[in-house]
Amino acid sequence: MATPAPLVEVKGLSKEYAPGVAAVAGVDLALGAGEFACVTGRSGSGKSTLLNMVAGVLRPTSGAVLLDGLDLFGVSDREASLVRNAKIGYVSQGANLLGGLSVLDNVRLPFFLAAAGRSGDAAAKAAALLEQVGLGRFARTRTRPGEISGGEARRVAIARALVNDPSLVLADEPTGDLDPENAAAVMELFRQIAHQGVAVLLATHDPAAAALADRALRMEQGRLTECATRE
């Protein structure tokens, strides 16, 4: 029986911000649907650069990122944007919510950034996601991001990353500024997301958080090594 093709394939990915200074050097990685992988490493080791390239927002110096067989840097910017919108959910270091929109609107925002002609308003979906991340009460109010805590904002960002039913979720230091209790809750959320068949790639410098992942990867001086795989 043939092995199914991985959802994400990273081939010989390198990024040099200055000639001869590689932030990421020749990284290869394959990630299947439902896999929960975690990249650890010190600050400046190249974790965020790797995630940005996998998300298709940072062009690599060399190498390729294939999502469902599509080379993210071999297509037009418009096509890459639409693929990112439809298939990738990104949780960045800060929660990065739009202060002018309500919590619910922040969650359903990616739905409306898709190509024109999409019907529906994603309100029920966004409300369900807020419920899933334990913030169902914000689905019924006009609460603004400025009125919620950092941990809540991070969970809102996770809900937003899921609103378009992505096949890949990327998260950069999602527990960075959270207390241990909130950090554990957020990591549990990612586990649940992976169990729903979504590939999750997470970057963190917190070994405790990384221990919860199925696959532990380590980034050192731009090079990626596999540390452990949970069966």
| Footprint on this chain of another protein (rule: CB under 8 A) | 43, 48, 51-52, 55, 57-58, 77-78, 81-82, 84-86, 88, 90, 92-94, 96, 98-102, 104-105, 108-114, 121, 123-124, 126-128, 131, 136, 139-140, 142, 160, 164, 172-173, 176
Closest approach of another protein to the CB of residue 29, in Å: 18
Residue 14 vs 52, nearer CB to another protein: 52
Give the SS3 label for residue 89.
strand
Closest approach of another protein to the CB of residue 1, in Å: 35
Q: Which residues contact 133 (CB under 8 A, 6 or more apart)?
A: 155, 156, 158, 159, 189
Residue 127 · residue 108 · CB < 8 Å: no
Closest approach of another protein to the CB of residue 96, in Å: 5
Residue 141 vs 225, nearer CB to another protein: 141
Residue 85 vs 214, nearer CB to another protein: 85
Q: Amino acid letter at 204? A: T
Residue 188 · residue 137 · CB < 8 Å: no
By CB atoms closer than 10 A (0-12, 13-18, 19+), residue 93 is: middle
Residue 37 vs 104, nearer CB to another protein: 104
Residue 93 vs 214, nearer CB to another protein: 93
Closest approach of another protein to the CB of residue 31, in Å: 19
Between CA 67 and CA 10 the distance in angstroms is 9
Q: Which residue has the tokens 């609460």?
A: 143
Between CA 140 and CA 186 the distance in angstroms is 22
Closest approach of another protein to the CB of residue 230, in Å: 28
